[in-house]
């Protein structure tokens, strides 16, 4: 087996172990309400952080380019209560337009 497949197999085992650790540790008990409210906020916070890092950084430097314009346009579309497909389309069109101009 090559090093790549060994790595994939190892990561698979570690991922399964991490996913199984929660239910095994809890033993069927429910988490407290305060913990559930924090856990519910983790996914949106991580997604927002990922979007910000991928949009505004380039090798540890701040970058303001067409991606930033697309995110700003998406924020405006969401503030105006546009649907998700409309928001994505607006962001893509604005980013493409800014790339065409610059």
More confident residue, 5 or 22: 5
Mean pLDDT for the chain?
Answer: 92
How do residues 24-65 score in pLDDT, each as one tens digit? 888 888 888 998 999 999 999 999 999 889 889 888 899 899
Distance in angstroms between the alpha carbons of the first and the last residue of the chain:
48
Radius of gyration of the chain (CA): 20
Look up residue 60 and give its DSSP letter. S
pTM, to two decimals: 0.60
Asked if 91 and 66 touch (Cβ cutoff 8 Å), the reply is no
Look up residue 62 and give its DSSP letter. B
Q: Where residue 74 falls among pLDDT bands split at 50, 70, 90?
A: very high
């Amino acid at each position: 087996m090559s090093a790549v497949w060994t790595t994939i197999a190892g990561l698979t085992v570690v991922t399964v172990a991490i996913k199984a650790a929660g239910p095994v540790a809890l033993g069927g008990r429910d988490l407290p309400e305060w913990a559930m409210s924090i856990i519910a906020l983790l996914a949106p916070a991580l997604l927002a952080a990922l979007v910000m890092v991928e949009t505004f950084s380039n090798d540890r430097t701040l970058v303001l380019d067409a991606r930033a314009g697309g995110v700003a346009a998406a924020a405006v579309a969401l503030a105006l209560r546009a649907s998700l497909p409309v928001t994505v389309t607006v962001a893509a069109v604005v980013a493409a337009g800014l790339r065409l101009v610059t």
